[in-house]
Structure 1
């Protein structure tokens, strides 16, 4: 359960604190104590009065509230990482780790109930974005210093944020947290304090949309059959239809648990055909994606205008990188901006996505604006892609030549870092 919570929160949680205004000065202590959410009204009032740091605080508090709400819903319904028994090793997934929910008495979960959880999550992300965008509208050179790994959250809804509910503890099973060395050679945690400023408000705003887009894509569809067939693997005691049959009575190929797991994965693939039930929401996903590139451009405009060098989340070529071995050069910035140009062409439909089966390219706007269903298997094999094929230039390696040359095999890290 700890890993599930940590990974979910990692998608939307990161640091922020202020040091100049009175509310900014108290924000770190509130975050470390897990009590910042109780002060939202005070920060919202100060934001309305023109305090950029308070607006950043509102965005951060709304982000925490969203993360807590999602985490508490997972806990309430007994979410766990899907268990992968012997079949996992056979399929090359790795060593099987059966994760148990920390909730001893999970509540039942319905399809409509899960949709509401996801809808609340998206709504919370959009609410948080508003605060971050407002903070960036002010011409204030604020810096908010905080160690994100010390921020506490109420993950299980018991009304308290304990020492065990920090991002550091949640992520320790998922990633290797940075460690340093003392003068006598002992291992010690490195300083993970980061200084957040106006540019980073735009970074946060972009990440809310990156996180919301795939959830909104799912919510635009009817995925009830998939829910019934497979999600008891995530919510094993929430009363889903196949809950009592994860371990079959007999065997087909291996052991009962492995056969049950394989059967559920086949069922998941078979039900991965989702009718579109909200075409406006589907089209809105494309707008979210376009807003991400627009916010990234604004983010870099603000980064390049900075004259300080205060523990930057994303540094300019003139600033110090906190990421070992990953200094940001002007060549990297130029390659990123060229990559954004290419992505914008794809999102506009001026550049098409290649499909292995066709000479024509796949138009993203055609899909998001006209699709009536999303059948993942038929899209991949070809027939489902036919309505969205168009004549025109198709993206290839040359379309991303600058990024390929500069980022190389490290491109996923730059995408996560730069947003």
Structure 2
């Protein structure tokens, strides 16, 4: 769930685009900048049904952002906060404003939050996939003006803007003259000195967003496939400190080794690891995780096919080797594209069970496809140590460094960063 949070914030930070005069683009911008998102969705739906391609793109983007907003509102509703882990190690920074009156949270509510995220992502995926199938459009948004109504009060303020989230929640500083006045909850104006951060999104980027919808949905479905109630009960009070979880009143105990808060945080971390033995309670969801991961690689291929076919050079989000990057330092070479497409082939072979995942303890490889389709339990510790991996071992080619040699040569230490960027 925490990885889902990070990914949710991460892809919103990339949703940025240049100005267009179309009515659908105006509706999209107004909804993203001032809200509510539901108004923009209601206006764009009939336009999209009538065949307006810009409207379909705008609708899909609003559905995607709306799904993330619903998720963020749920976290705010239950008072998510950076965990108190004692003086050993910094607290994690989450871009969720503090809630003075959080609601109670329990395991069933956690499942409901994740189920809603999965449903919202699937709605967005269908629209964005259709918007990416064809069309010659470019839509525009300034990412620093996108706002998320965390507290669901119907108002989107500067404090809830992407610029405030980046500047304060994630520790990314903006120049003083450009930073919003995040301390003023009633500030509704637009800062005319915001830096230029526009990108031109087209049908290729609709496919990129469709792929990211499935990244998020796969995380939700993976958790929902299992009974992870023990993890919620022993550890989630660290992230929802006033939501009435079972260990809420015991975040500080006696002293074992260092001091009360540090020892209690360490005890909770050990307890969390001890609970990573989850029975599969919805096997169809676990199978869908495999389908979603395959969809991610398929959308990435379609995205690159569309990018390489472009003939314009208009504030590109992910540029082709022939286009100019808008984001500094994001130049893309043909060599990088080829290496990424080969990496997708390798990933698909692993998801199909044709290329096995190496396990440090066995000469045989771990069959991912068999795991997603047949697993009855996910015991992470037992899988990593060996015994839990035995049912999924298979003879056949095992992935090695050679399978990723081209990607490692081209991307080097930045492979994971480019994987997040390329989707």
Give the structure-2-normalised TM-score: 0.90
Residues 161-206 of structure 1 deviation map (CA, whole Å, 9 limit, x = unaligned): 1111111211223153576999xxxxx8641111100100000000
Q: 1:380 aligns with which of 371, 379, 384?
A: 384
**How far did residue 406 of structure 1 move?**
0.7
**How far did residue 30 of structure 1 move?**
3.1
Contact 1:274/1:373, CA 8 A, preserved across alignment: yes
**How far did residue 409 of structure 1 move?**
1.0
Contact 2:31/2:37, CA 8 A, preserved across alignment: yes
Matches of 1:199 and 1:382, distance apart in 2 = 42
The equivalent residue for 1:92 is none
**How far did residue 323 of structure 1 move?**
3.0
The equivalent residue for 2:362 is 358
The equivalent residue for 1:367 is 371
What SS class does the counterpart of residue 235 from structure 2 fall into? Answer: helix
Contact 2:28/2:62, CA 8 A, preserved across alignment: no
The equivalent residue for 1:295 is 299
**How far did residue 87 of structure 1 move?**
2.9
2:146 is equivalent to residue 151 of structure 1: yes
Q: 2:247 aligns with which of 242, 247, 254?
A: 242
Does 404-413 or 99-108 show the bigger shift?
99-108
Matches within 5 A, 1:280-359: 280-359=284-363
Contact 2:18/2:199, CA 8 A, preserved across alignment: no
Contact 1:85/1:97, CA 8 A, preserved across alignment: no
Contact 1:84/1:97, CA 8 A, preserved across alignment: no
Contact 2:31/2:39, CA 8 A, preserved across alignment: no
Contact 1:84/1:261, CA 8 A, preserved across alignment: yes
The equivalent residue for 1:265 is 269
2:35 is equivalent to residue 31 of structure 1: no
Matches within 5 A, 1:66-105: 66-88=67-89, 95-96=90-91, 102-105=98-101
Matches of 1:398 and 1:324, distance apart in 2 = 31
What SS class does the counterpart of residue 150 from structure 2 fall into? Answer: coil
Does 16-25 or 255-264 show the bigger shift?
16-25
Relative to structure 1, is the Cα distance of residues 8 and 325 closer, same or farther in structure 2, using a 3 angstrom cutoff?
A: closer
Does 98-107 or 406-415 show the bigger shift?
98-107
Residues 363-410 of structure 1 deviation map (CA, whole Å, 9 limit, x = unaligned): 100100010000111111011100000000000111112111111111
What SS class does the counterpart of residue 69 from structure 2 fall into? Answer: helix
Matches of 2:92 and 2:34, distance apart in 1 = 32
Relative to structure 1, is the Cα distance of residues 17 and 107 closer, same or farther in structure 2, using a 3 angstrom cutoff?
A: farther
Matches within 5 A, 1:204-219: 204-219=209-224
Q: 2:229 aligns with which of 224, 248, 262?
A: 224
Considering only aligned residues, what root-mean-square deviation do their CA atoms show, in Å? 2.3
Relative to structure 1, is the Cα distance of residues 141 and 177 closer, same or farther in structure 2, using a 3 angstrom cutoff?
A: farther
The equivalent residue for 2:198 is 193
Relative to structure 1, is the Cα distance of residues 7 and 162 closer, same or farther in structure 2, using a 3 angstrom cutoff?
A: farther
Q: 1:416 aligns with which of 394, 417, 420?
A: 420
The equivalent residue for 1:129 is 125
Which stretches in structure 1 are left out of the alignment for 5+ residues? 89-94, 183-187
Matches of 1:313 and 1:30, distance apart in 2 = 21
The equivalent residue for 1:252 is 256
Contact 2:17/2:198, CA 8 A, preserved across alignment: no
**Number of residue-to-residue matches in the alignment:** 403
Contact 1:17/1:57, CA 8 A, preserved across alignment: no
Contact 1:52/1:134, CA 8 A, preserved across alignment: no
Matches of 2:398 and 2:416, distance apart in 1 = 22
The equivalent residue for 2:162 is 167
**How far did residue 354 of structure 1 move?**
0.4
Matches of 1:258 and 1:212, distance apart in 2 = 34
Matches of 1:98 and 1:315, distance apart in 2 = 31
What SS class does the counterpart of residue 132 from structure 2 fall into? Answer: helix
Contact 2:131/2:203, CA 8 A, preserved across alignment: yes
